[in-house]
Structures are given as structure tokens and as C-alpha cells.
Amino acid sequence: MAALRTSGASALWVALLTAASTATTLVLACATPFPSLAALVAVHMRRRDGLALMLLAWAASQFIGFFLLGYPRDGSTLAWGVGLGSAAVGSALASYAALRVAGYRSVAAQLSLAYAAGFTAFKGIILLWALVLGGLHTAMAPDLLVEQFLRNGAILIGLYALYRLLVFVGVPAPPKAVTA
């Protein structure tokens, strides 16, 4: 019975955070906050569940981009979709890895570290894709990097507030592995 409750709580949080991410994607015209999600899942979810969330959020963003926002269905756009998916997963893995080695107890410190690691990994992977696919000047423009860092940081604060509110009103917290 406990395993069923744990599994149900995991599935519920994956669904809730995917929905929140999808709403953010719609509002920001397909700018899914992958580093924000990566930090949140690294602090509050088991790695398996967090990676599932990242993949579902990526799939939702691709659906929105291609079917609602009319992204072109050409090789370059499809390749960038794959690049974003790999960056989303890489962002989460970096967030989990940073927390595993740091050992911070404060949630604020954990979220900050996980966010910094996730954002850095996300942009690093995007850089590698930009070297292959083009668009390096756009992907790594300093003003855009600052804007994305600040916007994703604000989204992380909002997602964390949503998480705390939902736990406060009785939604069971997702299970967190002792070691990520």
C-alpha cells in the first residue's frame, strides 16, 4: 500500500509540474523553463521521476511549438528539438549531481546550487548544439543569457511557491530518494 501511495504521489507531481511547465511554455511562447524544473526536481523528487518530468515537459513544449505555434517541420528545427531535449535531461542530471556532492541542508541553498548547475549545463549543451546547427550568436548572446537566467530564476521561485502551496493544502509531497 505504501508503494502505491509513493507511486501515486510521484505520478501526481510529475503531472502537476508538467502542467505548470506547459502553462509557462504557452505564456512564454515555447520558452520552457527547463533549468527551473531541473532545480525543483533535483531538490524534491527521485531522479527517475525528475527525468520523467523533464522528458514530459520537453514533449509538451515540442507539441506546443509544432502544433500550436506552427514551428516549421524542417530538419534544423527538428534537430533543435532534439537538442532541447538533451539539454533538458542534462540540466536535471547536473542539478542532481551538484546536490549529491555539495551536501547542503538548507532548501534555499539546495535550490540555488541545483539551479546554477542546471542552468549552466543547459546552456552548455545548447552551446554544443549551436556549434553544429548554427545560431551560436543567438544562443550565447550575453544579454539573452542574463534575461534567461533571471526569468528562469523567477519561474523557479514561482514553481517552488506553487509546490509549497500544494503541499500545504494537502497534496502529498513526492518521494525523494535518500541519495540522488
Model confidence pLDDT, tens digit, residues 112-130: 999 999 999 999 999 999 9
Residues of the chain below pLDDT 70: 1-7, 29-30, 177-180
**Residue at 132 is within a domain:** yes
**Residue at 178 is within a domain:** no
Number of separate domains in the chain:
1
**Residue at 176 is within a domain:** no
For the whole model, what pTM was predicted? 0.89
The pLDDT, as a whole number, for residue 77 is: 92
- For residues 126 and 140, give the distance between their C-alpha atoms in angstroms, rounded to a whole number: 9
φ, ψ for residue 176 (rounded to 5)?
-115, 125
Q: What angle do CA 149, 154, 157 make, to 5 degrees?
A: 125
| Domain of 136, in residue numbers | 10-25+33-168
φ, ψ for residue 152 (rounded to 5)?
-65, -35
**Residue at 122 is within a domain:** yes
Other beta carbons less than 10 A from residue 73's beta carbon: 8
CA atoms in the 13 A half-sphere facing the CB of 97: 11
Q: What b/e sequence results for 143-168 when a residue is b if at least 16 CB atoms lie within 10 Å of its CB, and e otherwise?
A: eeeeebbebbbebbeebbeebeebee
- For residues 26 and 64, give the distance between their C-alpha atoms in angstroms, rounded to a whole number: 7
**Residue at 142 is within a domain:** yes
Output the CA–CA distances (angstroms, integers) from residue 170 to 51, 73, 166, in the order listed.
24, 43, 6
- The stretches of 33-74 forming alpha helices (DSSP H) are 34-44, 47-63
**Residue at 5 is within a domain:** no
Q: What is the pLDDT of residues 95-115, one digit of tens each?
A: 999 999 998 889 999 999 999
